[in-house]
Amino acid sequence: MNFIFDMDGVLINSEPLHARSRLAVLESMGVSTDMDMSSVIGSSTLAFWENMIIKFGLDASAVNLERIQMALLIEMMKKEKCQPPEGLFQLLDELEGMGVVMAVGSSSRRMLVEPVLEYLGIASRFKAVVTGDDVENLKPAPDIYLLAMERIGADKSKTVALEDSRMGVQAALAAGIPCIGYSNPTSPGQDLSAATYRIDSLSQVLDLRRGNRWLWETG
């Protein structure tokens, strides 16, 4: 069996930091706004800054603004001791004990994904880490999940995704794999109704197992 984890909002409660760091960078550019950041959860950070440049006429490149925001987010994460969702480490331990192959499939850039996995001390648990730098099309396109499956040699019938955002769920389903939609309270405003399964806690992932088989397992 194979599990592919989204990162933001699944491995770490980072969505509030994304929102605050975006607002802080905008303020440093002279823009004061109360825009709702929940609408961009799961989407491309680079695209966000491209849109902000157009919207507010910012005199900067999207690439540089993204780098500034990522550096600020990582600083916030370490300074404020940002936590993973409750039950994450126990879930990883249980899955490893079952021989489950695990991977990360995130739209975030490698410059954020690697520091987060290092900060949490879980990088070695994953057979593959696919980031937004590795594909042409980010979520909700299926590219990230398709590449992650390719890198771990996964069969679709024995693979599941774990996501906290509407765009992430769409990406997993588009890749032809079932998706567990995790309603993380730190990732607000997400419509997970299309998810194959719904959970409110990572500890509930193991409830999707019946005996020696997962609910989605075939063959």
List the catalytic residues: 6, 8
Give the DSSP H or E segment for 167: helix 166-174
- What is the dihedral sign for C-alpha 18, 114, 147, 212? negative
β-sheet bridge partners, residue 4: 103, 161
